[in-house]
Amino acid sequence: MSLQGWVPDIGPYLTVAEVIEHAFDYRGNVTVMRHDGEELVGYLSNRDAAAPEPFVEVIDEEGEGPIRIRYADIVNIRFTGKDPAEGNSWKAWLERKEREKAQHAPSTSA
């Protein structure tokens, strides 16, 4: 199931660090919301929770970056971009092939 469109509800059952893990695994753009009210839209390409000062790295929509943001500065992350990993292209291709085969098959009706 894709996380596309997800707006996490940060609270006792979901931490920012957990949302960062989901965002790192997500292949679309996200919107990183900072405590200071700034927002950055881009692809979250890296994160290091074990660093002395945990950080994420984001490549923005223009391809600039990576822009490093500290975990401590992040209030939430929205999954705003289209998920390019979502979809059934292989299935769709097979279905199209089957349709083509059926169209080219000789008619069996009398």
Binding positions for other proteins, rule: CB under 8 A = 24-25, 27-29, 42-43, 45-48, 57, 59-63, 66, 81-82, 84-85, 87-91, 93-94, 97
Of the pair 35, 94, the CB lying nearest other proteins is at 94
CB 31 within 8 A of CB 23: no
Closest approach of other proteins to the CB of residue 102, in Å: 16
Distance CA 94, CA 64 (A): 38
Quote the strand ranges of the chain, DSSP E: 30-34, 39-48, 55-60, 67-70, 74-78
Of the pair 16, 59, the CB lying nearest other proteins is at 59
Distance CA 21, CA 71 (A): 11
Closest approach of other proteins to the CB of residue 99, in Å: 13
Closest approach of other proteins to the CB of residue 15, in Å: 18
